[in-house]
Structure 1
Amino acid sequence: MVSTPIGNLGDLSLRAIEVLKSVHVIAAEDTRHSGILLAHFNIATRMVSYHDHNKLQRTPELIAELQQGRSVAVISDAGTPGIADPAFHLVREAIRNTIDVVPVPGASALLAALVASGFPTDRFVFENFLPAKEGARKKKLEALKTEERTVVFYESPHRLLKTLAAIQEVFGDIPLVVGREITKKFERFYRGKTSDIASIFEKEGVRGEIVVLFNLKYAGSNEPAR
């Protein structure tokens, strides 16, 4: 399980490069996307696709390769495989077949956003992406009303404003942190009340990869969003 950069190619570890060059096959979520990364580091290892739409077919194929003594590296489009992607299916089957699973740690948007947020990091909960439909999204947020840990989730740019409106409806105008384009050239963290952050995005538009964080037990700052 090899972590890859979430934006900055310099975040690929020396160990990850060594592993990706030495394994027999790389299972990638998107072979075209990952091909750019591999080419940059002169990695010529054979790739096969492994994603939500082919995991049921591909998992037994990869398990068979592993049982034949071949090595497989799993990578996602960005970050740590198994976090918000189908790689956990392969991990589960490998464990069932007494095949060793070796993590090669690295970049993670979840952890990068958490440690830079200013919210408590000793206890947190990751909610992946909130539901796309308005009713289901509100229901998910309602279920978090008693949550005392820092909440972290990913959001798509075209849904962010709707999600911020839902947060304000369910929790009130709570302090938030929104991380955008983490590790990339235009990385920025927005900190402030939900309404203020929403106003900024209404004016500037929403682009890039988004991580949203809040902690209902943490009062935060009364300063304007920035």
Structure 2
Amino acid sequence: MPDPLRPEPRRRHDLLDLEPDAWAAALAARPDLAGVPRVADWAQRGWPVILRRRNPGEAAGAVPVGLPLPPAEGKRRIGLGLPAAAVRPRPPVALAQASGTAPEAWRPTLAALDALGRRHGVAPRVFGGLLWQHLTGLAYLSDTSDLDLLWPVAGAIDRRLLDALAAIEQAAPMRLDGEIVLPDGRGVNWRELHAASPDDTVLTKHRDGLALCAARALGYAGEAA
């Protein structure tokens, strides 16, 4: 059982709300961001940032956060390090919550993905363009956008989940990107894992770096659970 006196560790893709004064102070130390659209008033608008992977050489005491600008404004990815007291967690956005923001042509696929998650007891979460369009109302999606999803699993990875994802993508109007997220916070690309045998090596991503490991070590036997 989680200790109520100890906060849960932050993980890649976690959404974080900002303390506006701390955001302004961080921007003041980054003259290269002066005049970049949207950035100065990001916190004042109540928009969150996302926890990103820490880059080599970044201060260990700072929280590494990021935000992407819309494609029409350069699609630039902004990365900053903030004091821990400057951010607070915001609940993730489930696919079902963001479905109304998606293009009409995506809706049948989103319904199929939501139903898939329900069958497997996994609530898919959005990130990427659909997330940011849902949160900000800005135009992040285009006709060529991918759908980015996180699939947080509680234990062994069921091959049937990956098979069904691949089948849904075959009929989808967009590419399905994203990761299976393990209980310890590591993420692995679902497509890479689906193509792997249990003894193949796959790339995992964590908030503090990258690592290669055998698919079997992730709880993936390559068979239906």
Shorter-chain TM-score above 0.5: no
Greater share of helix: 1
Pair member with larger Rg: 1
Q: Tell me which protein shows more strand as a share of its residues.
A: 2
Structure with the larger RCO, 1 or 2 (CA within 8 Å, 6+ apart): 1
TM-score normalised by length of structure 2: 0.30
Q: TM-score, normalised by structure 1?
A: 0.29
